[in-house]
Amino acid sequence: MAFAQERMNEAHETNRRWWEEVTPIHVASEFYDIPGFVAGRSTLGEIELQGVGDVKGKTFLHLQCHFGLDTLSWARLGAKVTGVDFSASSIAKAAELAKITSLEGCSRFVCSDVCQLGQVLNEEFDIVFTSHGVLEWLSDIDQWAKIVARFLKPSGMFFIVEIHPLCLIFDELQEKELRLAHSYQHSNEGLREFNRSDYTDRKYVPQSPRTKMLWPLAEVVQSLLKAGLPLAEFQEYYFTTYQHFPMMTKGRDGLWRLPADLPQIPLMFSLTARRPSD
Ligand SMILES: C[S@@+](CC[C@H](N)C(=O)[O-])C[C@H]1O[C@@H](n2cnc3c(N)ncnc32)[C@H](O)[C@@H]1O
């Protein structure tokens, strides 16, 4: 138990340093387009807007919120938001953006490891939300699911839209084909990566290493069931919201797909779970 905790802390600390290094690159990137956001652009996609539904007046916890663009987009729709991330510079930027966009009154940002959130926050929310590139950074999926359950009110809703774990078994660098590079099975060691371009700026290669984890869908679902959160909905999607593989092309709808002559695989999934009423 103590060994597992130590291993989790070590992997998360490696990843936290990676995130601290790339956050200023992300803040300055066209990918995140902060000026557009400040001018009123919502960063939320159709999947999460439809999946979460009306948030007006609801208390809303956003896990792994980065510098808060999605969190504050939910606040613009009327939610009372709390964003959580373990990157101090991300949280500081999120708080600054809340001020600039006059959303301070309905938003709050907390710097914490998601798996240790119980040590710094003590309340329950109508909605717990997380999205796009979150699970691969976590070393303990059962602990994560317990946190999700811990922070939901009775009848509260959890929603996640995420990169499909199948995307993580292929070599991202291949130009024209998907080459099987990693096992789909979870391994406690994860995949330690060096010298991988940043996703917002392919020219920027972080100095810090990172440890990525693949969580098979069955383990994600099982972790939520074990934490007492039955599934209400589950979907898979054959597109992504950004260019995950070099050979993907962007459609008129702004979504990215594999070439039509390649076999198609699911590239994202979404899931809704609800805490039963007491
Ligand atoms: C790909 S970003 C999520 C993107 C987010 N959906 C957005 O709207 O920008 C992943 C985030 O997870 C955070 N993160 C990774 N591991 C974490 C952990 N153990 N606890 C808290 N935050 C973590 C990173 O700091 C980063 O901000």
Average the pLDDT over 148-152 and give the result. Answer: 98
Could you count the other beta carbons within 10 Å of the beta carbon of residue 9? Answer: 14
**215's tokens:** 């969580």
* Helix orientation angle between 69-76 and 88-100, rounded to the nearest 10 degrees: 30
The whole-number pLDDT of residue 55 equals 98
Q: Is the pLDDT of residue 29 over 80?
A: yes
Which residue intervals of the chain are DSSP H helices?
Answer: 2-27, 34-38, 46-52, 69-76, 88-100, 141-150, 217-226
- Say how many Å lie between the CA of residue 215 and the centre of ligand 1: 16
214/183 Cα distance (integer angstroms): 9
State what percent of residues in the chain have pLDDT above 90. 84
Structure tokens at 166: 């199948």
Q: What is the pLDDT of residue 86?
A: 97
What is the per-residue pLDDT for 188? 93
pLDDT for position 54: 98
Q: Please state, in angstroms and rounded to a whole number, the distance separating the CA atoms of residues 77 and 174.
A: 40
Cβ of 24: how many Cβ atoms within 10 Å?
11
Q: How many CB atoms sit inside 10 A of residue 28's CB?
A: 12
- Domain membership of residue 123 as a residue range: 2-274
How does DSSP classify residue 227? T
Which one, of 77, 121, 72, lies nearest residue 93 by Cα?
72
Percent of the chain with pLDDT over 70: 98
Give the ligand 1 atom nearest the CA of 87. 25
Mean pLDDT, residues 238-243 taken together = 94
The more confidently predicted of residues 206 and 94 is 94
Q: What is the pLDDT of residues 187-215, one digit of tens each?
A: 999 988 888 888 888 888 899 999 999 99
* From 14, 22, 66, mutation site for ligand 1 pocket: most ligand atoms within 8 A of C-beta: 66
- The CATH number linked to 250 is 3.40.50.150
Dist. CA 26–CA 73, nearest whole Å: 17
Phi first, then psi: give them for residue 37, nearest 5 degrees: -60, -45
Ligand 1: centre distance to CA 243 (Å)? 18
Q: Please choose, from the candidates 20, 36, 30, the residue with its C-alpha nearest in 3D space to the C-alpha of residue 73.
A: 36
Least confident of 45-54, 114-123, 176-185: 176-185
Structurally, the chain folds into a number of domains equal to 1
Going from the Cα of 134 to the center of ligand 1, the distance in angstroms, rounded, reads: 6
Average pLDDT of the residues of the chain: 95
**Could you read off the pLDDT of 59-86 as tens digits, one per residue?**
999 999 999 999 999 999 999 999 999 9
pLDDT over 70 (residue 1): no
Higher pLDDT, 176 or 32: 32
Give the C-alpha distances (Å, rounded to integers) separating 19 from 104, 137, 175, 234, 249: 24, 10, 26, 29, 27
- State how far Cα 67 lies from the chain centre: 12
The residues, any chain, with a CB within 8 Å of residue 11's CB and separated by 6 or more, are 139, 190, 211, 213
Ligand 1 pocket: which residues have CB below 6 Å? 12, 15, 19, 64, 66, 69-70, 85-87, 90, 113-115, 131-134, 137-138
Rounded mean pLDDT, 244-257: 94
Cα–Cα distance measured from residue 242 to residue 254, given in angstroms and rounded to the nearest whole number: 9
Mean pLDDT of 21-46: 96
**pLDDT at res. 266:** 98
